[in-house]
Amino acid sequence: MNHDSNNDTRKKHRFLLIIVLLLVLTAVIFAVLLTMGVLKLGKGSGGSSGGNTSEEGSTGPGAASEGRTSSDPSAASTEMTGTEEPETGRVKRSIIENMAPATEVPNIKITDEMLEKGILNEGNPSRLMAVMEKAARGEEITIAYLGGSITAGSSASPQEKKCYANLSTEWWRQTFPEAKINYVNAGIGATDSWLGVHRVTDDVLSHNPDLVIIEYSVNDSQGWNKETYDSLLRRVLEYSSEPAVIALLLSAENYGFAAEHAPIAFRYKVPIISYSALLSGKLVSWKSVGNSDGTHPDNPGHALIAHLLTEYYRRILTSINDMEDPGYTVPDLSESQTKCRYLNAELLTSDRLTADAAEGFEATEVKGILFNTNGWKTESAGTISFTVTTREIGIAWLQQSYDPQGTCASYDLYVDGEQAATLVGVADSWGQHLEYKTILLDEVATHKIELKPTAENTGVEFEVLALAIAR
């Protein structure tokens, strides 16, 4: 009996010892799995991977501050299941690995030298990195383009699809398919940065853009364009949505003003993409990229411009998780190359400004050169006057092509009773376009502006598109 009882006791002890060892081993394994991030604890069921996470673009409590994805490894580890390594960067690796290629350029071999010269300055990428992070979270971003006829898509066919602006935006659509990409093309042919700085608030900044590409280096031929371009870059960079800005330097076959724009863009530390450098450096021939008019790129040229932009985007996205965000502060006004007196420029159309007096002129819809088509029109050599408070007196009107019948629509511009300029409504020019006059003063003051027909005026149609002011 005693022998049997002792055997039973030993069996019970061994059984209990095995149970204890199994419990200890289970606890050790559980602790190791937690440490490796294979398991996670949270509200509800202990190992669930459901709910909003930073990888899914959470914007609720716990999401990264200021619209940035958290780079805390411990936070990222809670987003992983299985045996994958935790996501610790600003953008998911899968997005980077599957990003769209740079825009294809037909019949042109892209060389390393072309990319070195074309991506003239990578600049400060902080704001562009923020745009990419926002798109990677599946949020809404707005990309805007401001410039002349090349930006509008001239000589691309079909224009809306094959212009460089749409081609480069397509890279964003393909790389970030979960994001909503808004596309704003604010190009207007035969216009320069003088008009650009006056209309940028209405045509671009009103859309609260995340990224703005600015192009005026083909048309900026006037002496004041250095200051209007400087003012334009600063105006966009200082806007409340803090958009990323890229200076795009283009060129015609035999002329351009990239050399005037580049130092200004360098001063603001913005990225500079230079198609102009490829042409001036003979890295591509005009025949391979340009139209016979010597000014506008054909489809290959538009594709090459888009290639330079998208290759730059790829460089930034490829290294985004390895780069420290440098942050960006707009340089102080004292550091600008000009006085930036056009910084607060705007256009006054007939829906915003009422004439003091008008005889023969009426406030009405005018030709659609500007996006806002509210202007003033006369068909009988009328007169009109305004009062404005400004440091700049500018006026934009529609100039028609030369009329062989000899009609004349010319007006004298008077400022405070003094004749200041003559506006020619019909000229021997290349076609219907916006023409302007500008008078820049030292101080803001109230002025009376009058338009009176010249003695040669034959009473034909004349359209004032807008008054331009800067305060």
DSSP 206: G
Q: Of 352, 349, 440, 341, which Cα lies nearest the Cα of 392?
A: 440
374-399/462-470 β-pairing? antiparallel
Q: For position 400, what pLDDT does the model report?
A: 87
**Whole-angstrom distance, CA of residue 469 vs CA of residue 254:** 33
CA 100, CA 170: separation in Å to the nearest integer?
9
Exposure string over 296-334, b if 16+ CB within 10 A, otherwise e:
bbbbbbbbbbbbbbbbbbbebbeebbeeeeeebebeeee
pLDDT at 52: 34
Nearest CA among 232, 268, 178, 196 for reference residue 343: 232
Query: In this predicted structure, what is the pLDDT of residue 89?
Result: 85
- Proportion of the chain above pLDDT 90, given as a percent: 76
d(CA 275, CA 243): 23
Q: Give pLDDT, residue 222.
A: 97
Structure confidence at residue 196 (pLDDT): 98
Q: Which residues of the chain have pLDDT under 50?
A: 1-3, 38-83
Pairing of strands 119-121, 140-147: unpaired
pTM, entire model: 0.82
Task: Please report the pLDDT score of residue 74 as a whole number.
Answer: 33
Q: Give the per-residue pLDDT at 361.
A: 98
pLDDT at 120: 98
Write the Ramachandran bin of 88: left for phi over 0, alpha for psi from -120 to 50, otherwise beta.
Answer: alpha
